[in-house]
Structure 1
Amino acid sequence: MLALNKIIQKTIACCLMLLLIQTTLHAQTTPPKWWFGVAGASNFNFFDGTTQRLNNGLIVPTAFHEGKGVKPFGSVLVEYRPTPIWGGTLNIGYDGRGGKFDGVIAPCDCPATLATNVSYLTIEPTLRVNPWGGNLFFFAGPRLAFNLQKDFDYTQLKQENTSSEFSEVRKNIISGQVGAGYDIDISSPTSTTKFVIAPFVSFHPYFGQDVRKIESWSMTTVRTGIAFKFGKGKAVAKPETAVVPVSLDVNFSVKAPSAVIMKRKVSESLPILNYVFFDEGATTIPSRYVLLSPAQAAKFKQEDLQQEPSENMNVRSERQLKVYYNILNILGDRMRANPEANITLSGASLAGPVEGKTFAMEIKKYLVDVYAINENRIATNGRTKPVNPSEQVGGKKELNLLREGDRRVDIQSNSSALLMVLGGELMKPIQINATQVDPKDSAVTFYVGKASEVLSSYTLDVTDPNGTTKQYGPFTKNEERISGKTIFTNNTPGSYKVVMLGTTKTGNVIRKESAVQLMGTEEQTENGLRYSILYNFNKANTTATYAKFLTDEVAPLISENSTVIIHGHTDIIGSEKYNLELSNKRAQETQQILEAALAKAGKRNVKFETTGNGEATDSAPFENSRPEERFYNRTVVIDINTVK
């Protein structure tokens, strides 16, 4: 099965590449709802199980167990996409599932081989999902197969070769598949007839794929191929002919940065959660945490983590989590350097205090065995829920995600050398130097007043001084920020024309024009500063909790004529609307505290750019698949940039 594992790994890599290259370019016509086409692919088939009775007249002396082969797949298809997100596809075609079993040695010491050409008429309805409304799509659904061929060729030395058909072959098979694809539009943006080529890959597990009624031969298939599709859209009505009531109009304006900065050196203070999370069904420290040998621990210093691990500031989650996953080594190094400091490890598990204490003892054992910390300096206890639980009394929604966050060990201490008390205990932060690529203050901001009330969606066409147009969208929010680096790819300074084309909720079209001046790019070498503040799920800490930290630690570092960028985020727990309001409220409160501190210090001409992003995954600092990622997404990030 090594070959199958390699195929699956390549499949996952392809999906990630498709996700990375996904664009938001849109044509000037409505997308077709109905698509028709053909698909061709290769089936990589992997056999497993046992095959020995080939038919009623032939039982081979030695059973065959594993094999593989590549056979063709071809189909006609029809696709229905009522919305940019959801749709469905139906494929009907020929499905080759043959291959060759691994050779065996018969009792006569004779090599024997078995090849098969099993094939089916396949009917495959699938649900199609475009989670971001772009070109990348995912699909899943059942496979209904009707047997067409069941031939085999058996060869054995010292015996006549046999070509025949398998007996007891299942006439009908019901199985399933999951996969991903990428639509590449090869037609003109203004053409109503759309042509698309779509490379795709799908995985067909062995469930339900028993070939015969007897024995245990089953197969797993990875299919890679390409589809050609066409459909008929409608031209977007010209703005001149659209009748838009005055009450349904929107305001449109564009705001550009003073200069599009490609890179900036940044000194970032990384907060470190004082939690270690444990996986469901396990009591050992998860492998994602960095665990060292005693020899490695003897050389470990937390200062080693302060060096820049990546030139790409946009991969902030990778850098910050790399530091966080060294939490036990940071703790061991600090306790080694501060022999008077003691800690309490409080483990929590819904399975009960006994398992919670087992978690705590695992961490204590690591610190004692690897860092030689005196065990008398480490107290442990177990609880059903942590001190600040995520799951609230009476809560009924998304309990699985909340409970993942409550299955953890809290690190507690009164030592300021280890932790700092700031709205609940946090590990003292790590200061690292990094290079910020395409910083947020280089983004171009587009304001579409009342867009969420009036428009179902809108797109933005940006034309550079050379006449090259890029299209972005669709969008729905009143304010959108697009990377200045993305717009300014050809390094062409000058006036950029911007056209906003929106569709009202009643089906009319609104067209607005504006222009924005973009100046030459530059690399800014002065150090910027970044600070983050974290929030617990149950609001045990609020923005007011951080008032002293913001006033005493952050505000003094803001000089006159600086730009302060504040952006708030949340995890994916809760409603999208509530999370957007919560992140915006926290970001605005942070700005108010800093403004008050600056006014008291007599500092003027400080520019603030403050936004709340809610749970938006395209701008979230981290993923949301693990509890620590969701905890880190409950944040307000503060960037302090000195203007040249």
Structure 2
Amino acid sequence: MLQFHLANKKFAIMFLVSIFAGVAGHAQKVKRTQPVWWFGESAAANFNTYRGTTQMLNNSLTVPTAFHKGDGVKPYLSLLTEYRPNKVWGGMLNIAYDNRGGKFDGVVAPCNCAADLSTNISYVAVEPSLRIAPFSNAFYIFGGPTLSFNVSKAFTYTQEKQPDTRGDWSDIRKTVFSAQAGAGIDIPVSARTSATQMTVSPFVSFLTDFGHDPRSVESWSFYTVRAGIALKFGTSRKSIAKPIEESVATSPVVQEKDVQFSVRAPKVVPLSRQVKETFPLINSVFFNQESTDIPARYIQLNEDQAASFKEAQLQEGQPDNLNNGRSARQLALYHNILNIMGDRLRSNPQSTITLIGASGKNPAEGKIMAENIKQYLVTVFGIDGSRINIDGKDKPAISSEQPGGDKELALLREEDRRVDIVSASPELLMQVGGSSSPYLKPVEITSVQTDPLDSHVLFNTDGAAESLKSWTVDVTDEQGNVQHYGPYTQDQASVSGKTILGNNQQGNYKIMMIGQTKNGGTIEKESSVSLMKMDDPKQEGLRYSILFNFDQSKSIAAYENFLTDVITPLVPENGTVIIHGHTDIIGDEAYNHTLSHERATSAQQIIEQALSKAGTKGVTFESYGFGEDAGTAPFDNTLPEERFYNRTVIIDIIPAK
């Protein structure tokens, strides 16, 4: 019983009350309060990660090849003080020796010699932190600023065929101000009644590179994950425990947030629509792992076929399934990128391109990949080789793998194994994003769009992602027949109006949303819709796409000129503009949903402002963010090019009905 009391006092009290129910406890016993002040020391391992650019080591040594990434494991030792006035809030102070040393990733010097750079840079750090025990138990979190004073700045540079060079960095900041956050747990190792309390406290923390640029030149920075253990001592005081009074335990009442449910349904359900799509071409050819050959999925012609090939031919004879789901038609167009580029170079004899291969391993392999594409264009399409420059790099100019990233690296590195097509010739480029846009001039497609997005019934359940485990929708017709859809976890879902109507030309339906709350309850919300089919083959719409690199900070504002100058003049009075955002499957699902929604609504705001200035009236907007939802994604996510095309905002312009 005593051990149980020592492990968890609250549960021990409830246990004793259940045993001695109806008996008032008047006995008193001596116990000790927890110390307010704690002192001790800690030891840890710093897992340091370098990024940025480093080439000039000091005023007398600038190495021939820049270093970028690196890592290392170094020691951390501190003297610590903690102040804990209560069970939740407190403060911490560490005075520490903080070694941020490590080794940069090796590079190849121009002499084709391997080169390495390491450092033992270290600091005396002052680390005040706010300490919070959110559950009033042994677990705690902490965070605060760090003030570091440099005490060591040595480096060692080695290069094949040359003696090692040791020295000190120049332009080292003597004082660096940054921040950290972490968590730990206090494990008692002394008796609860002892005057001197002692705990062993494993901890882990993250020290950001924000503000922690060790030098005032170049861009070298580092961040650190620290894991270690602290030994803490405190002096407790005697106290008299209060009598245990009989009490009745009550379960806390958790207030559930209300969920708002609404349905958006079209007045009429268009079964199909002729669409003229301006389809962008990403300027990359993606290569398979461990191969420098052009992948078989890219369509390659022989010389006779290339002689008669015209880009305009791609508008005919392709799979006719242009819709809001996956489209083999657009992917077939993209997989003709080598032939499209050959035709454009042949038709524009003054234009030039540069092929930049990135292998993820070494520049030489990337250059071989680029050379293989050049040989195809020269041999098959007869392009003068002097018009095609090639280069090789480890990483493409805009890399999918971000510095410090540690999730889904296999998919990101697959995207970075590619050859980018770069050109300054305007006849080859696309106007999206202005003059700096890397995307190639788009291909125009005219086809029939089946089951368009404005034929869908959209269910909006605001607050579902926060309050519900999942939710489903029951659609009941006038005869009592029920269709079930779901389960869903995000705030929004859609079902084709054509699917709901089935063989019926029109119908009235009751919509019932049934949500399962995270607290085990059930929420029901009701609405209704009326649907009617319409088939107007003469109606023609326009579709434009905006593509995004794997860059979470990329803003729709970069495309403001395109939206204002190209898209807005095409929007007719009393027309409808449907904007839907999508992402690939990389990253957090909830974040992707929010990101796609924000991009779609931002595009709407830009077009609305431009329409207002132009005096265009009566335009209806519908903007949606579908995130990585597989049911509405334009493409699969199997191939890297499919994930590139899924990072998109699609704009459909529909004339007045």
Q: Shared topology, TM-score over 0.5?
A: yes
1:370 counterpart residue number: 380
SS in 2 for 1:621: coil
For residues 317 and 270 of structure 2, the distance between their equivalents in structure 1, rounded to whole angstroms, comes to 20
- Do the aligned residues in 1 keep the contact of 2:294 with 2:373 (CA within 8 Å)? yes
For residues 116-155 of structure 1, give each alpha carbon's deviation from its aligned partner in whole angstroms, at most 9, with x where no partner exists. Answer: xxxxxxxxxxxxxxxxxxxxxxxxxxxxxxxxxxxxxxxx
Unaligned ranges ≥5, structure 1: 1-243
**One-letter code of the match for 1:328?**
L
2:495 counterpart residue number: 482
- Do the aligned residues in 2 keep the contact of 1:260 with 1:520 (CA within 8 Å)? yes
Alignment of 1:403-442 (within 5 A): 403-420=413-430, 422-423=432-433, 424-442=437-455
Q: TM-score normalised to the size of structure 1?
A: 0.60
- Do the aligned residues in 2 keep the contact of 1:347 with 1:386 (CA within 8 Å)? yes
Aligned with residue 322 of structure 1, among 327, 332, 337? 332
**One-letter code of the match for 1:383?**
K
Query: Is 2:295 the partner of 1:286?
Result: yes
Cα distance change, pair 245–482 in 1 and its aligned pair in 2 (3 A): farther
1:555 counterpart residue number: 568
Between 264-273 and 342-351, the greater mean CA deviation after superposition: 342-351
**One-letter code of the match for 1:402?**
L
2:623 counterpart residue number: 610
For residues 412 and 255 of structure 2, the distance between their equivalents in structure 1, rounded to whole angstroms, comes to 47
Alignment of 1:459-538 (within 5 A): 459-538=472-551
Aligned with residue 592 of structure 1, among 588, 599, 605? 605
1:254 counterpart residue number: 263
1:335 counterpart residue number: 345
2:638 counterpart residue number: 625
**One-letter code of the match for 1:294?**
E
**One-letter code of the match for 1:347?**
G
Cα distance change, pair 276–311 in 1 and its aligned pair in 2 (3 A): closer
What displacement does 1:604 show? 1.6
Identity level (%): 53
2:649 counterpart residue number: 636
Aligned with residue 271 of structure 1, among 260, 277, 280? 280
Between 460-469 and 373-382, the greater mean CA deviation after superposition: 460-469
For residues 499-533 of structure 1, give each alpha carbon's deviation from its aligned partner in whole angstroms, at most 9, with x where no partner exists. Answer: 22222223233333222111243334211010001
- Do the aligned residues in 2 keep the contact of 1:584 with 1:612 (CA within 8 Å)? yes
Query: Is 2:598 the partner of 1:573?
Result: no
Q: TM-score normalised to the size of structure 2?
A: 0.59
For residues 276 and 639 of structure 1, the distance between their equivalents in structure 2, rounded to whole angstroms, comes to 27
Cα distance change, pair 472–316 in 1 and its aligned pair in 2 (3 A): closer
For residues 389 and 467 of structure 2, the distance between their equivalents in structure 1, rounded to whole angstroms, comes to 59
- Do the aligned residues in 2 keep the contact of 1:259 with 1:522 (CA within 8 Å)? no
For residues 302 and 441 of structure 2, the distance between their equivalents in structure 1, rounded to whole angstroms, comes to 24
1:448 counterpart residue number: 461
For residues 597 and 455 of structure 1, the distance between their equivalents in structure 2, rounded to whole angstroms, comes to 39
2:88 counterpart residue number: none
SS in 2 for 1:503: strand
SS in 2 for 1:619: coil
1:310 counterpart residue number: 319
Cα distance change, pair 520–343 in 1 and its aligned pair in 2 (3 A): closer
- Do the aligned residues in 2 keep the contact of 1:268 with 1:433 (CA within 8 Å)? yes
**One-letter code of the match for 2:438?**
E
What displacement does 1:248 show? 5.1
SS in 1 for 2:536: strand
Cα distance change, pair 557–455 in 1 and its aligned pair in 2 (3 A): same
Cα distance change, pair 449–385 in 1 and its aligned pair in 2 (3 A): closer
For residues 223-257 of structure 1, give each alpha carbon's deviation from its aligned partner in whole angstroms, at most 9, with x where no partner exists. Answer: xxxxxxxxxxxxxxxxxxxxx99955433332210
Alignment of 1:9-28 (within 5 A): none
Cα distance change, pair 422–558 in 1 and its aligned pair in 2 (3 A): closer
Between 605-614 and 246-255, the greater mean CA deviation after superposition: 246-255
For residues 368 and 289 of structure 2, the distance between their equivalents in structure 1, rounded to whole angstroms, comes to 14
For residues 426-457 of structure 1, give each alpha carbon's deviation from its aligned partner in whole angstroms, at most 9, with x where no partner exists. Answer: 11000011111111101112233333333322
- Do the aligned residues in 1 keep the contact of 2:516 with 2:522 (CA within 8 Å)? yes
**One-letter code of the match for 1:634?**
R
For residues 386 and 446 of structure 1, the distance between their equivalents in structure 2, rounded to whole angstroms, comes to 41
Between 420-429 and 617-626, the greater mean CA deviation after superposition: 420-429
Cα distance change, pair 298–604 in 1 and its aligned pair in 2 (3 A): same
**One-letter code of the match for 1:403?**
R
Alignment of 1:192-207 (within 5 A): none
- Do the aligned residues in 2 keep the contact of 1:308 with 1:432 (CA within 8 Å)? no
For residues 325-375 of structure 1, give each alpha carbon's deviation from its aligned partner in whole angstroms, at most 9, with x where no partner exists. Answer: 000100000111111111111111122111111011101100110001111
- Do the aligned residues in 2 keep the contact of 1:391 with 1:406 (CA within 8 Å)? yes
1:301 counterpart residue number: 310
Between 431-440 and 467-476, the greater mean CA deviation after superposition: 467-476
For residues 547 and 451 of structure 2, the distance between their equivalents in structure 1, rounded to whole angstroms, comes to 24
Cα distance change, pair 386–449 in 1 and its aligned pair in 2 (3 A): closer
Cα distance change, pair 613–464 in 1 and its aligned pair in 2 (3 A): same
**One-letter code of the match for 2:265?**
A
- Do the aligned residues in 2 keep the contact of 1:568 with 1:613 (CA within 8 Å)? yes
- Do the aligned residues in 2 keep the contact of 1:308 with 1:434 (CA within 8 Å)? no
Alignment of 1:386-401 (within 5 A): 386-401=396-411
Cα distance change, pair 484–396 in 1 and its aligned pair in 2 (3 A): same
**One-letter code of the match for 1:562?**
G
- Do the aligned residues in 2 keep the contact of 1:398 with 1:573 (CA within 8 Å)? yes
For residues 244-272 of structure 1, give each alpha carbon's deviation from its aligned partner in whole angstroms, at most 9, with x where no partner exists. Answer: 99955433332210101101100011100
- Do the aligned residues in 2 keep the contact of 1:567 with 1:587 (CA within 8 Å)? yes
What displacement does 1:578 show? 1.7
What displacement does 1:477 show? 2.6
For residues 33-92 of structure 1, give each alpha carbon's deviation from its aligned partner in whole angstroms, at most 9, with x where no partner exists. Answer: xxxxxxxxxxxxxxxxxxxxxxxxxxxxxxxxxxxxxxxxxxxxxxxxxxxxxxxxxxxx
For residues 347 and 624 of structure 1, the distance between their equivalents in structure 2, rounded to whole angstroms, comes to 23
- Do the aligned residues in 2 keep the contact of 1:277 with 1:628 (CA within 8 Å)? yes
1:200 counterpart residue number: none
1:379 counterpart residue number: 389
Cα distance change, pair 411–398 in 1 and its aligned pair in 2 (3 A): same
2:72 counterpart residue number: none
- Do the aligned residues in 2 keep the contact of 1:310 with 1:434 (CA within 8 Å)? no
**One-letter code of the match for 1:586?**
R
Between 266-275 and 512-521, the greater mean CA deviation after superposition: 512-521
